[in-house]
Structure 1
């Protein structure tokens, strides 16, 4: 059995919404953090998740019914990642804790975040006014799981009240308490109450983790030890200082921001982080340079490919995505990638549209459109679905009374429609216009050589006949659309 995680004399990456996903946690560990917390995840949403081993990424994913990946972790962080949940219900908290306990090092309950997304339903800092519920939640968790349980709080109006609360908390058997040295209604512009954290640390028998010093007290790695001494705490937890430059954890000094951003982006691509979360984190790192030419490219980006272009990592992104796609194809079983399968009334193949395999003015959609005209059939009709977990697209084309699509998801609507066209053409045995294929007279010379009014007929047809996009799932809240909890 693995040794239990210790919270004494550690430096930790704090839980931050939209920031504390797997890429940032791994980078923090690379740079010297001892422990990393995931972003706060709500118990109701996590309780619906299924634990899935992702053989492509070599991760463990907790996947919601709508296919959103709520939490992703891997072996590299298993012994040092703390799962933080938002909860106001002991029984539901235990369900979630037991779901993840084999894949994380500890469980933490958020009792400090003052933002509405956390406090609604009595979670987060709202728990500070209900000590009995705090005790019930923590006691249920401590007795119900085999890994350490901790919590993160804010200070109360008086030192005495704060110390009293922490003493009640430690009686539940928790392994540590993180204390943010501001009141529930205070924000980062307010001074940090180091004296209150120190009073708590002196009174408590469990390790106290000091939090909240990023703005004024911790700017370099050397400042971490000073913050620890000033608060008398066992350990230190960093949020914004790490968000701005996570190499603050490195004892050898900060790395250039360009290097940090590149390392982070590589992890984000490698582990298929949500592109909007990746973009958010990189913008936070740029800070006052977010309006620079690079920053403007980043702000306009929609995919990891777009983000990579802003950082000169196009080749890395393309190679990584191709490698991951190859793994997916290999894991599909004994059937070749282009084997025909039926999904209900839809003919499917595992087909990826690769633009460079076709001549510049040729495309599968164009060939399918011309075939419909030649055979006097109704023109193809495309329906679009969007997958929320990675904003991938999948198109289904209806042609000659039958439906076709690729089982693979594409990075754009245009590519998804092309992939669906490829499946249709291959099933029907119609030329698709690939380089090296026998020349076909299906597309006349005018269409081979040029465009009409600046647009191909294929594009004009798409505008006339493409169906409304039907969202497969809502835009993810997961790893949310709210700013991080501030230290």
Structure 2
């Protein structure tokens, strides 16, 4: 784990956790989202997990461990014993539904507050359909809330997956990366409009350039191609001002930076 320290950014009113030496922002949050944001990490080391969680625990609502595939349960147990905020975790499906249910039950016994289940197995590819029925098997076997994840690309999919699985809530990944307006009940906005708004928001909140480029590339790869001029220009961009010029947001950049 990188050696981090916390600092307050007066410019945008955020709490930044930065890497000592480089000053790179590793995690950023603010008071407005303190009771809503969940800090997720992936690790196989209980001590490192606890150290990271203790750094951010006063500024987040919960800590989540992205297990991906089965890891040591000592991580979850260590966090539960030493943290006052909720601890949750996220898993993928195992080879059989029975194996997944058994894993979920063992996780529940560690005392976590909720479990997210991605409806694909480790060897599955993103194009493979998420197995909602196997998420339902986990829901039926646990008493803690289960969060369904996989193949949610339209607003109506939220209700569809909840009905199909019986989960209390839904997690969205690629669908939100490709078009964040997926959360709008009236339907998604055109992706060109969403891209420009995302660039504006990145400028407003001084978002890390690597993070901003990653999201833009995900959007472009889904709707177009990185081999076209726009994609190549995003890849070559070294700063937010480069992206502002690319998407015609120079005025937004000048306004936010100067004010």
Task: Provide structure 1 residue ranges, at least 5 long, that are not aligned to the other structure.
Answer: 1-43, 113-124, 324-487
User: Which residue of 17, 25, 45 maps to 1:62?
Assistant: 17
User: Which residue of 159, 173, 181 maps to 1:239?
Assistant: 173
User: Which residue of 52, 55, 60 maps to 2:7?
Assistant: 52
User: Which residue of 190, 196, 206 maps to 1:256?
Assistant: 190
Q: Which has the higher helix share?
A: 2
Matched, 1:98 2:54: yes
Q: Deviations over 1:362-394 (max 9, x none)?
A: xxxxxxxxxxxxxxxxxxxxxxxxxxxxxxxxx
* 8 A Cα contact 1:305 1:318, kept in partner: no
Count of aligned positions = 256
Q: Which residue of 2 aligns with 1:449?
A: none
User: Which residue of 71, 88, 97 maps to 1:159?
Assistant: 97
Q: Deviations over 1:136-181 (max 9, x none)?
A: 2112111211111000001111111111111111111111000111
Q: Which residue of 1 aligns with 2:239?
A: 303
| SS of equivalent residue, structure 1 residue 315 | helix
Matched, 1:207 2:145: yes
TM-score norm. by structure 1 comes to 0.50
Q: Which residue of 2 aligns with 1:173?
A: 111
Q: Which residue of 2 aligns with 1:86?
A: 42
Give the distance between the partners of 2:101 and 2:223, measured in 1 at CA: 39
Structure with max Cα Rg:
1
Q: CA RMSD in A?
A: 1.7
Q: Which has the higher contact order (CA 8 A, sep 6+)?
A: 1
Matched, 1:319 2:258: no
* 8 A Cα contact 1:53 1:61, kept in partner: yes
Change (3 A) 1:298 1:95: closer
Q: Deviations over 1:239-297 (max 9, x none)?
A: 11111001101112212223222221122112222223212212222334345554444
| SS of equivalent residue, structure 1 residue 201 | helix
Q: Deviations over 1:194-234 (max 9, x none)?
A: 12111000111111111121xxxx33101211011112222
Q: Which residue of 2 aligns with 1:198?
A: 136
Q: Extract structure 1 runs of 4+ deviating beyond 6 A.
A: none
Q: Which residue of 1 aligns with 2:28?
A: 72
* 8 A Cα contact 2:25 2:208, kept in partner: no
